Amino acid sequence: MTVKLVLRMGDERLLQRAEPVKKFNTSELRELLADMNDTMLALSGAGLAAPQIGVGLRVVIFGVQSNSRYPDADSVPQTILINPVIIPVAELMEEGWEGCLSVPGLRAVVPRYLNIRYQGHDENGGLIDRTVSGFHARVVQHECDHLDGILYPMRIRDFSKFGFTEELFPGQDLQDE
């Protein structure tokens, strides 16, 4: 088990565009995914992108079981998504709260497409093709933004809805995503 250090906002590696994975089913890729999974679990995250542990590859993992920490959230299946492509299926955007393991202790309201189709590959190269909405769509857009060097604060429109989790949601024990 290897829990990696998660880079924090200000580290320029988080601003770089990640490179596509060219070979699937390799020991390097399996090792990266194991490290990402261990790190996400250790920090109780909802998702993690490879650049957050300093690896500039287009790999994200995510998944949320509906629980008390996300009372309004739909559950999102545990997913490994490599070389993802996101296609909005409608123009409609929705504002919603987000946090990030690279921006610890803070939350903000960020607009995201409500309905998206996303495609990509699993660790063996198998095709993933899903059409999703709401919280699932938000998580995918957040994680895939990391692959293009975009952190959620760069998408905030209303900075009055950006602050420390403990002040915004006192007593709720919300953690970073």
Which residues are identified as catalytic? 143
Q: Is 89 exposed, middle or buried (0-12, 13-18, 19+ CB in 10 A)?
A: middle
Q: What angle is formed at CA 104 by the lines to CA 10 and CA 56, rounded to 5 degrees?
A: 50
Which of 100, 116, 137, 140 forms a contact with Ni ion (CB under 5 A)?
100
Q: Does 59 bind Ni ion (CB under 5 A)?
A: no
Give 73 or 100: the residue with its C-beta nearer to Ni ion.
100
Which residue is closest to Ni ion by CB? 100
Give 99 or 120: the residue with its C-beta nearer to Ni ion.
99
Is 58 in a helix, a strand, or coil? coil
Segment near Ni ion (CB under 5 A), from 57-65, 85-93, 95-103, 161-169? 95-103
Give 83 or 141: the residue with its C-beta nearer to Ni ion.
141
- Closest contact distance (angstroms) between CB of 64 and Ni ion is 13
- Closest contact distance (angstroms) between CB of 48 and Ni ion is 7
- Give the Cβ contact number of residue 94 at 10 Å: 15
Number of residues that bind Ni ion (CB under 5 A): 1
Structure letter (DSSP) for residue 5: P
Torsion of CA 162, 58, 81, 95, to 10 degrees: 20
Give 100 or 114: the residue with its C-beta nearer to Ni ion.
100
Tokens of 100: 């990030």
